Every structure is written in C-alpha cells, then in structure tokens.
Chain A
C-alpha cells in the first residue's frame, strides 16, 4: 500500500456530521501527507474527537468523503472492518481491554484481525512494549498499570499492526500532569519513525514540537491551517487568538 500520487495518505473532503440537530462537523477539508503529523487543536466540543471517529468509521458521516491512499473509505459499499485494519486509533480514556494483560491487549488485533500467529504476534508485541518502556509489564492487567502506562499500552496496541495512519484522540487529557511526558515521548518516538499521524491535542508545546502542521478547529470548521509557527505564534483569526489565550491562561 502506498500514498496516492500526490503523497497524501488521508484526504478529508467536505466532511459533515450531525448528531440530531447538532452540527458537529460543518465541512472539513484536510489532507495528511505521508510521514506527516498534523495536530488538531480547538476547544472541547469543536469536533476533534468526532472527526477522528468518523475517519475510523466508528461514526457515519453525513456528507463529503474520506480517502485513504487515494481510495474512498466512507462509501457505504466499503467494508469498514478492512478500513479499520489499515488505521490505528488511540482513545482519550485508553479503552484497554480490562480482562486481558498488556501483551494480550497489544496482540489481540494482530492475531484475530490480521491472522498473525501467536508466537510471532507476541514476539513483536513484547518488543513494542519494551520500546515504550513497558518491559516486564507484559502480564499486568490494565488495572495494575498507571494511567501513563495504560496509554502507552494503548498506543502500542494501535501501532501493533503498522497502520497507514495513526489517529490520536487527546491521548494525554485523562492523565495526571506528571504522566503526560512519558506518553508524549511514545508519540515522539513514532513520529521519529515517520508514522503518519493526525493528533487531536490540548498540549500546545507538544503540537509545536511534533506537528508539521496545525489545524485549528472551531465549531466544526477548520478556521486556520499552517505550520505550528504560523498558527500558534502568529494566528490570523480572532477565534484562534482567543483560544490560544485561554489555553495559556490555564
């Protein structure tokens, strides 16, 4: 599998989504290029999570389309399971499987969805956990892990099958402040490897450091899109300036 001719892995075109009367996404256009990390910033309720869930086909969009490597994935005729197998999603609340060990969490998808045999999946899973600083915790249940450790297991789980793109939904928002760093380190690591990523985040310094581009979402639209320097240091829109001021005040 490879990116489409223009190097775009994820292409979001004119996507809208409503829940009942509430319009959450009002026409989103965004292309994420191969090896690129795009940070999605914006207030709670601006549609960041919904956009990521729509891309992973956990929600059905109303209008527009999303393309993965040049193929439409939001067509009703497309098998959502096959699409999800090419994407990775990390949730804000980790959503680890509590009845499974850290290692079993990581290998479940590989074994059941990708048909990798247990020995091979476990070998890779162990290596992946070790890479994210979790060597020796393979057999622990999520309950016995700190929030930061759980989220690193969740990142390993999403990355295990080497997805074409990784979607990260505010992966540090549920964490105690002192645990944020270790999770961001894992994301930095994946970025270093050239992983294509769409990262919803509230960590502006992290967005500045890791993202190649930053998109500011406001009331279901992308109001501003550019390099971190452009969007975070010299924002054009009033809404962006107001949002950044509020974030900094905290």
Chain B
C-alpha cells in the first residue's frame, strides 16, 4: 500500500505530464496551422497548387521518375562503398608515421584539401567533361561512371577526415596496451584502434551518406537520366513542376530513414520524441 505522500507525488507527476502534452498539442496546432493558413491563403496558391502539386501530373510522371531514381540508388550504393574504402585508405596514409611515408602523407593532405575544397558540382563538371576530353585509352567516358568518380573523390576527402578524427579520439592507453601485449603498430591499428574509432564515427559517416544520397542529383549535369533529370525533362514538356516534387519525395524516402538511423546510433538526442 503506497503512502499518501507517494500518491500525491504521482498525481502531481501525472498532472505535469498532461499539462506538457496539452501545451505541445496547442503549440503544434498554432504553428503548423498558422503556416498552412499562410500558404493556402497566399494570393499565388491556386497557381502553385496547379503547377507543383497537380495530382494528375503526379500520377502520370511518377513511374518515370521512379524508374530514373533506381539509377540514383545504384550510384549511391556503389559510391558509398567506394567512399568508405578510399576514405579509410587516405586516412591511413595520413597518419602513417614512418619517414619513408612522407610523400604519401603529403599526397593525402593534398587529396583532402583539393577535393574537399572544390564545390562538388564543379568537380562533377570538371571530371565529367575534362576526363573524356583527354581521349585516353581505357579511361571511362561513361558520364555515370565519371560522375560517380567525382562524388567518390569529393566525399572520400570528408570521410577520410572523419576517420582520422575517430582514430585520434581513441585514448593513447589503448595503443600502449596493444603494444604491451606484443602487437605490432599495424596490428594495434587493425585490432584495437580502428574497431573503436569506426564505432565512434558511425553517426557522422552515416550523416555524410545522407548528404551523398542527395548529391547524386548533381550527376544530372552530365546528362544521365537520373530522377532529377527525368523530372526536369517532363517539366519542360508539360510546363508543370509536379515531377520535381515527385523526385523530391523519392529523395526523402531514402534520406529520412537514414537520418533516423543516425539518430538512433548517436543516442536519442535530436530525434523527435
């Protein structure tokens, strides 16, 4: 039998909880309702609804945009794997200590500075049009492949820095302990430091993955028929922007779930509760 004092506390706690829920509900209605009213009553809304949210056009164009979107999915899946590998490789080169590795270390610094410093869209443009112009044998000329390479270079530079931060965040005592049990520097990295570092940087790595999923659309400037490009083509034929909204929804369909995974990995901070 709980004491009166305890019942009183529990009742107060319930009241506080109910009041909190009521406030959240009211403020949501006010803010979201206000926003909706603002948009729906704006003078241009009828035209916007017609050109951006046209159900007929949506139904008509969605299958084509979806088909084109598979190309995006394929590109970012392949690019992501390549980025994780290249990024790790660049990070490893950068932290290599031996004097013989000096030039390699320098190259990895240049790699990161260069590819992180150039806007991704410019990189896609330069590689997509520049590399075929060299007319070298055996070098790919397919714009999909060249675009993917540009994305891999750009994102690997970021990811290399994420890995490096993770490696540096593992306490020095871990390396000491690994060496003390007789491991070589390389084994200590492989079996002790990297596993801990990768676990720690999984959320920022996934975060970059979300960014990559959207940036695949940049390849469209080279011509491949991916979702954004396909939607643009339909738009230019119908003078209706709804296909672009359809494409936007498809990008959201992959980025939002990934973002929720990031939230889960990084604890619950930032997640909507």
Using Cβ atoms and an 8 Å threshold, which residues of chain B touch A158? 180-181
For chains A and B in complex, what number of residue pairs have CB atoms within 8 angstroms? 61
Q: Are A91 and B176 in contact (CB under 8 A)?
A: yes
Q: How far is the CA of A95 from the CA of B196 in the complex (A)?
A: 13
Contact B199 A95 (CB under 8 A): no
Knowing A99-B195, A99-B199, A112-B187, the reply to whether A85 touches B173 (Cβ < 8 A) is no
Q: Which residues of B contact A98 (CB under 8 A)?
A: 196
Given A93-B173, A95-B173, A98-B196, answer yes or no on A84-B180 (Cβ-Cβ < 8 Å): yes
Do B182 and A84 touch across chains, with their CB atoms under 8 A apart? yes
Give the complex CA separation of A101 and B228 in angstroms.
48
Contact A95 B176 (CB under 8 A): yes
Q: Chain A residues near B182 (CB, 8 Å)?
A: 81, 84-85, 109, 112-114, 161
Q: Which of B180, B184, B191 contacts A56 (CB 8 A)?
A: B180
Alpha-carbon gap, A68 to B161, bound state (A): 42
Closest to B192 in A: A97
Contacts of A53 in B (CB 8 A): 176
Q: Check B187 against A97 for contact (C-beta < 8 Å).
A: no
The answer to whether A89 touches B196 (Cβ under 8 A) is no
Taking CB atoms, residues of chain B closer than 8 Å to A112 are 182-183, 187, 191
Q: In the complex the two chains form, is B199's CB within 8 Å of A89's CB?
A: no
Are the C-beta atoms of A99 and B179 separated by less than 8 Å?
no
How far is B182's CA from A80's CA once the two chains are assembled, in angstroms? 9
CA gap between A113 and B179 in the complex, in Å: 10
For residue B177, CB closer than 8 A to chain A, the reply is yes
Closest to A154 in B: B177
Report A-chain residues with C-beta under 8 Å of the C-beta of B238.
Answer: none
Question: In the complex the two chains form, is A99's CB within 8 Å of B196's CB?
Answer: yes
Q: Which residues of B contact A114 (CB under 8 A)?
A: 182
Instruction: Name A97's closest neighbour in chain B (CB-CB).
Output: B192
**Contact between chains at B191 and A58 (CB < 8 Å):** no
Residues from chain A with Cβ under 8 Å of B196 in the complex = 97-99
- Mark out the residues of chain B between 162 and 200 whose CB falls within 8 Å of any chain A CB in the assembled complex: 171, 173-174, 176-184, 187, 191-192, 195-196, 199
Complex Cα distance, B177 from A95, in Å, reads 6
- What are 7 A-B contacts defined by CB distance under 8 Å? A58-B180, A84-B180, A91-B180, A93-B173, A95-B173, A112-B191, A158-B180
Beyond the given A95-B173, A96-B177, please list 5 additional residue pairs across the A-B interface where CB-CB is below 8 A: A56-B180, A81-B183, A89-B180, A91-B176, A97-B192
> Nearest 3 pairs between A and B by C-beta?
A109-B181, A113-B182, A85-B182
